[in-house]
Every structure is written in C-alpha cells, then in structure tokens.
Structure 1
Amino acid sequence: MPKLRITSFNIEWMNDWFTNDSDQPAFRDSFIREDHISNTHVTAQRAANTIKEIDPDILAIQEAPSRPEELGLFIKKYLSVNEKPIYDFILSDAGFQQKLAILTKPNVINSIKLAPHFTIANLIDEWLADIDGDEQLEVYQFTRLPLVVNVEVGGESLQIIVLHTKSNFVNKGREMWENLATRQNYIHEALRNRRRNSAEAMRVRQYIETMLKDKRCEKSIILGDFNDGPGMDYFEKNYLTHNTTDVLVGSTYEPEFIYHHAQHDISSNLRYTSIFDDFVTGEKNKHILLDHILLSPALSTNHGLRRVRGSGNIHHVEYERNTVNKGFYRENRPSDHRPVSVILEY
C-alpha cells in the first residue's frame, strides 16, 4: 500500500543565507544572526541533512527565502542526487522575507497546483476584525497569506493549507516587561499580537468549515508554524481565555468537523518543537509545541487516502543529530524549530 510522508519545517530565516533582493540571487558566504557570524554552508547543510533524513514526499517550509531563484539554489546544492533535484517547489508570492513554500517529489504525486483565487478569497482578501480590543472592527489581512495547494495523489484530491500565523514577538519585550513603567505597554502589544493570531485562526476555521459543509474538499491538511501551542500561555489564560490551535481544531458542538491533531500521537514529554526562556513567567527552557499538522475528519477513515494511525511525529532524533553546541548559534542548529510530520496511505 503506497504511503506519503508530509512534513512541516520552519527553517529559521533562510533569507539570511542569500544576497539582497536587489542583487543577483546567490548564497552569501556568511551571515549575522544573534550578533554572531555564522557560516552559510554549515547552516544550510544542517537543515538539508535533517530534511534528507526525514525524507518527506511533501515538505511545507515556513521562513523560506524571498525569491524562487534562492529556493531553487538551496534545492540544487543541498537536496539533489547526481545534480538532479529531489524536489519541485512552489514559493508563495506573499510574506516578504519569510515566505511559505511547498516542496514535492515529482515521482510520488500526480499533480500539485495553487488553489484558484476565487476558491480561497475568504483566506486572501481583507476582512473586518477587532485586533486591538477597542470594540471597533477594522480592516485586517493575514500577516503572511496562507499558501493553499490542491494535490492529486492515488486518484484522490487533497488540499494542503500552509500557515505561518502572526508572531507573538514584541520588540524589546523583555526590557518592557521588566520595567514597571513600560510593562502595561508590553501587555498591550502582546495582546494585540495574540488577537491578530486568533483572528487569522478564526478566518481559516471559517474557510474550512464552509469547504467541509459544502463537500468541496473533504480531505485537507492545515500545517505549519501557528505560533501557539495546546494549552494557554499567560496572556491567553488571563486575558483572552482561548488559544489559536483550539480555534483551528473545531468545536465539540460539531464533532463531524473536528480536525485530528497528528502530534497528539507523540508522548506528552516529547510534544514540543521549540525551547525558549519565558521572561513573563520566569520559566527557563520552556518547551512549547508551535508547529502542527491538523487533518480533516475524512483523513481518519479506513479507506482511500487516510492517515496511518500513530504516524504523527516530531523529529527530535533527526534534529539533535544535526545540532552541536546545544544549538547556541545559528550555524550550530538546523533551525530553532523541530520538524513535524505525518504519514498518509492510499
């Protein structure tokens, strides 16, 4: 029975590896991140080795480079066999320096195409939302437009929605939080970012519910960096009283439309993709699941294209094998996110 591994990987600031957009597309020899000069080849090789060890048939990338020529260079240099690229790719035209991309093995899937604009207008057009908490609706649009592709495989149709929702990051956040004079300003900005994140999640949820109810695309996957994990952080618990992932998964009032979380297959102590210090709660090395794969109900059946039970994975082994010095500098790690994957069969 044929199987298909689908992986999501936020490859931290790939755009650092390449020349400025005004110049001819080419790799830089080195780049600066975290006030440290990192070797581009060493960094890119770590990411590529991680990908090759996982060996996905379909790979969704967040924080891809800004130009298709640059992603093509990465694939040609690091993801090729005998100078033949392993993957074809589609790079989103939105996202500035942190774009979304889909890589596919051409000999595995039958076809892959961008979803036509008219079918995803609710995802890419502006809408009204209160992202400031001022009880006023204002025009809003995704920080990074979702990348939506229609895939044909094994005689069936599958829609893949790649997300990289609004980051919760606040510039000089630690400094603002630790200074009582500016703490309230930090809280305001932190909540604003989470409201934007939540608004984006709600928009996607509305889109997929319409698709499911109209039976236009019953088999779909939402995956990527949601900048949010199961459970609630300090601001979600004390101010918003909800999180992004729960909004995307769906409501128990309509269980037939609830999406399955593939990373639930992982034991709870390994259910994380990123580690950071939470200066708000004082928690050091906080483990959080920011990267997710959600599968529509029709992919959890016993026939046709469907998920392999228990196949949800977070690739700690492959990540750690390509990390040195505890990943302290950018060139020491494949990324600041661990990849996640799931296997489908048909």
Structure 2
Amino acid sequence: MSGFKVTSWNVEWLIDHFDVASGVVQPGSKRSRRTMPSQEHAAAKLDAIRRVISEIDPDILLLIEAIPGPDRMLEFVAQHLPDYRLVTRGNVSDAAYHIQGEQWIWFVMKPAVMEACGAHLLDVGTWQAYTREIYTATEARKEHKDGQWWVSAPSIITVDGKKTIGAPVLKPHSHYRHPQVLVLDWKGARVEFVGVHLKSKHIGMSVPRRKAGESDKAYYSRADVRLFLANAAIARMKLTTEATDVRHYIDRRFEQEVLPAIFVLGDVNDGPGKELVEREHLLHDLIGNLQGDVFFARRFLNHALFDNPQHLRWTSRFEDELEPGKPPEILLDHIVFTEALSRRVDGALRIQPHAGLVEHEIFERISTQMPSGTQISDHRPVSLYVNEAV
C-alpha cells in the first residue's frame, strides 16, 4: 500500500431509513418527534449512500449518525457496503462504546487495509485515564473521573412563573457520544483516527420570531430572545468542553511521543447563533479548540481543507434564524491532523498540498436522482488523500 484515502460523512439519521427498509418500524410511524420515511424514500437513501461511498472509494470511512449497536450496524454493512468491514470492539456490550442515543460513530474499512494494519479501537478507559492526567492539581484529578468534568454556566431559573437567567452554577458534563479512536499500525508506525460527533446543536427551543421591522438591538433586548441566547450559550459552553477534552487527549499523546500521528475527523456541531455567540460570549470557535495554539506549532492541527477555495469549503447548509442574511453554507465536518503527517517533518506518511476536498460533485450528481421530498443527507462527505513517505 502506497497510501490511503480517508473520508468522514454524516449520513443523517441512518437508523430511521434502515429500520423502515428492514421492516423494524412502519413507514410514516413516529419515533420520538420524527416521522419515519416511506419505503420508497428509505430504499432510495440507502442505495444513494452505497453509490456515493462506492464512487468516493475511501479506504477508511467514518460514518456519523450511523446505526446504534454493533449488531445492527454489522447488518447494514453486510447488506449495503459489502466491500467494507466494520471496526468493532469485539464481543463486548454496547455500553463499552460509551455512546448514548440513536446516532452512533463507526469506522468501516476496506478489508485489505484493515488486516494489514491491525485496525482496532482504543479502549475508552484509556482515553479517560489520559485526559484525567492533564489535570495536574490533585483535587481537579479527583473531580475529573469516569469521563466526567465540571462546567460553569448560567443557570435557568423560574421567577414568578417565568424562566429567566440566573447565576452561574457548576454542573457535571461528559461526552454524549464518546469519541471513538481507530488505531492502525502503518508499517511499524502508530496512526490514530479520533472520530468525533459533538453534542447536537439543537437546544429544544425554537428561535423567537422577529417582529416586522424590528431592529437587532430591540430584538436581542427581548426577554424571550435573551433566554434563548442563554440556552444557546450554555450549549456552546458544554460543546467547548467536549472539544477541549479531545484536545486534552491529543496533548497527552504529545507527552508520550515527540510527533504522534493523529487525525481528528467528524462533525463538530456549532449551534444556533454560531457567530453571534462567538462574537459576544466565547470569542472562539470549536475547531479552534481542537486545533490548539499556533504558538505551539508542533502540537497544532493542520486542516485538510486549508488550501481549498472558500466557495468549496463547506459541508452543510444551515439557515440561522438568529442572524438572517448570513450565508447558509457552513463547514461542520472536518479532518485535521498533527505535524507528524505534514511534509515538513519526518514520518511514515505524508499529506501533500490540495489533498483534501469536500465531495461536492459526487454528492450533487447522485442527489439529482433522489425522489422528490427526500435527500441523501444534510451533510456532504469530506475526504483526504494520505501518501506514504518516500
């Protein structure tokens, strides 16, 4: 093998379409607040996913919003991705993955690459032990345990029967979907792929509607808008700590090796009012938390799409009602990597300029063949070509 192609793709509620196609749930029935698709739409989506993946032809594929539990996911791969193999934790309970909900994180690989590289998933307990070691104070280590940490955020309280914003409080937090780390032995060199899907951007509230002709100042001064923004900011604070926990794992690996070869890939949810929250509350974005500090250049993560033109550097469309008029194209899906994979340093693998791309052409061409009223996914795949060092 002279290298490989890695792809990350959020396939949007795969379980719903697979369950309808498999006869597990009835078309049109309700699951939580979701209405199940028709048989036609379910079959069309599953076939389109297969075709997109076949044309992208990745050696390593991260699927986001995939099927919960290894047994059902193995069924999906066998039926729809027969040229790939699912990377599992072996004969263990579902709890060993530390993923809640119905949107799981899975790596699938071409069998030849999987076998040649001894592909396996890092034990979640190892991750949690490493991230705990970053906290140097004894008391902080005691509190950061079992994959939990503390978040200080405004409280939401009820006064005279109405919800309002209260004083900050400390609350425990953890990954809703714990990162899954694929480990490969690439001809004697350890290579890691950290698959992430940070907690959902949805906060269980609708964006308050603007009144006709209402100015930004008047709109953002309203009590209902302030309450919504407080909830959005709290969600972003939690997301920030999840991204920071990923960064803690990476920093710990740099305490063990001079230049560890690590990729971080997946869906980094930003949430409603992304720029507004960053501008007025947090002053940073989530990918910035992951990438690290450029002043510590060897630990900084390079972005696969850094040298892509701006008009192609997006993976999802999101109409942000808090800031109408803002371009809906946003980059939620990322692949970043350590300096060990840069062509400027020695290592087993190299990433050349212009090696990353969003798979717009394949996605859009196959999307044109979908039935009216459905879509393949609300995210587009992002890929990266990785070459062997010469």
**TM-score, normalization: structure 2?**
0.78
| Superposition pairs of residues 229-268 of structure 1, within 5 angstroms | 233-268=275-310
| Superposition pairs of residues 44-123 of structure 1, within 5 angstroms | 44-80=46-82, 85-90=83-88, 92=97, 94-109=99-114, 110-121=117-128, 122=131
In the alignment, the residues of structure 1 paired with residue 292 and residue 76 of structure 2 have an alpha-carbon distance, to the nearest angstrom, of 37
The alpha carbon displacement at 1:313 in A equals 0.9
Q: Does 1:168 align with 2:194?
A: no
Using a 3 Å threshold, how does the CA distance of structure 1 residues 46 and 139 change in structure 2: closer, same or farther? same
* SS of equivalent to 1:253: coil
Amino acid of the residue matched to residue 312 of structure 1? G
Using a 3 Å threshold, how does the CA distance of structure 1 residues 31 and 271 change in structure 2: closer, same or farther? farther
In the alignment, the residues of structure 2 paired with residue 323 and residue 31 of structure 1 have an alpha-carbon distance, to the nearest angstrom, of 22
Higher Cα Rg: structure 1 or 2?
Answer: 2
Using a 3 Å threshold, how does the CA distance of structure 1 residues 57 and 90 change in structure 2: closer, same or farther? same
In the alignment, the residues of structure 2 paired with residue 214 and residue 135 of structure 1 have an alpha-carbon distance, to the nearest angstrom, of 37
Using a 3 Å threshold, how does the CA distance of structure 1 residues 294 and 128 change in structure 2: closer, same or farther? same
* SS of equivalent to 1:151: strand
Using a 3 Å threshold, how does the CA distance of structure 1 residues 138 and 45 change in structure 2: closer, same or farther? same
Q: Does 1:144 align with 2:177?
A: yes
Match of 2:268 among 201, 219, 226: 226
Using a 3 Å threshold, how does the CA distance of structure 1 residues 195 and 202 change in structure 2: closer, same or farther? same
* SS of equivalent to 2:281: helix
Larger mean Cα displacement after TM superposition, 115-124 or 143-152: 115-124
RMSD (Å), alpha carbons: 2.8
Using a 3 Å threshold, how does the CA distance of structure 1 residues 323 and 19 change in structure 2: closer, same or farther? closer
Using a 3 Å threshold, how does the CA distance of structure 1 residues 216 and 147 change in structure 2: closer, same or farther? farther
Match of 2:250 in 1: 208
Contact 2:307–2:354 (CA<8 Å) still a contact in 1? Answer: yes
Contact 1:50–1:334 (CA<8 Å) still a contact in 2? Answer: no
The alpha carbon displacement at 1:324 in A equals 3.0
Amino acid of the residue matched to residue 278 of structure 2? E
Deviations 1:299-328 (A, max 9, x none): 103541222331111000111012138997
Using a 3 Å threshold, how does the CA distance of structure 1 residues 26 and 86 change in structure 2: closer, same or farther? farther
In the alignment, the residues of structure 1 paired with residue 361 and residue 81 of structure 2 have an alpha-carbon distance, to the nearest angstrom, of 20
Match of 2:6 in 1: 6
| Superposition pairs of residues 271-282 of structure 1, within 5 angstroms | 271-282=313-324
Contact 1:273–1:338 (CA<8 Å) still a contact in 2? Answer: yes
The alpha carbon displacement at 1:187 in A equals 0.8
Percent identity of the aligned residues? 27
In the alignment, the residues of structure 2 paired with residue 240 and residue 183 of structure 1 have an alpha-carbon distance, to the nearest angstrom, of 18
* SS of equivalent to 1:196: helix
Using a 3 Å threshold, how does the CA distance of structure 1 residues 107 and 132 change in structure 2: closer, same or farther? farther
Using a 3 Å threshold, how does the CA distance of structure 1 residues 26 and 311 change in structure 2: closer, same or farther? farther
Deviations 1:74-98 (A, max 9, x none): 2222222xxxx43333384513201
Using a 3 Å threshold, how does the CA distance of structure 1 residues 36 and 26 change in structure 2: closer, same or farther? closer
Using a 3 Å threshold, how does the CA distance of structure 1 residues 111 and 35 change in structure 2: closer, same or farther? same
Deviations 1:235-292 (A, max 9, x none): 1111111111111101122112101000113211111000121111112661000000
In the alignment, the residues of structure 2 paired with residue 345 and residue 120 of structure 1 have an alpha-carbon distance, to the nearest angstrom, of 28
Amino acid of the residue matched to residue 88 of structure 1? L
Using a 3 Å threshold, how does the CA distance of structure 1 residues 106 and 36 change in structure 2: closer, same or farther? closer
Contact 2:299–2:338 (CA<8 Å) still a contact in 1? Answer: yes
Contact 1:65–1:98 (CA<8 Å) still a contact in 2? Answer: yes
The alpha carbon displacement at 1:212 in A equals 1.1
The alpha carbon displacement at 1:71 in A equals 1.8
In the alignment, the residues of structure 1 paired with residue 316 and residue 370 of structure 2 have an alpha-carbon distance, to the nearest angstrom, of 13
Contact 2:151–2:173 (CA<8 Å) still a contact in 1? Answer: yes
Q: Which runs of 5+ in 2 are unaligned?
A: 90-96, 133-145, 156-166, 212-218
Contact 2:5–2:59 (CA<8 Å) still a contact in 1? Answer: yes
Using a 3 Å threshold, how does the CA distance of structure 1 residues 176 and 145 change in structure 2: closer, same or farther? farther
The alpha carbon displacement at 1:137 in A equals 3.1
Q: Which runs of 5+ in 1 are unaligned?
A: none
* SS of equivalent to 2:260: coil
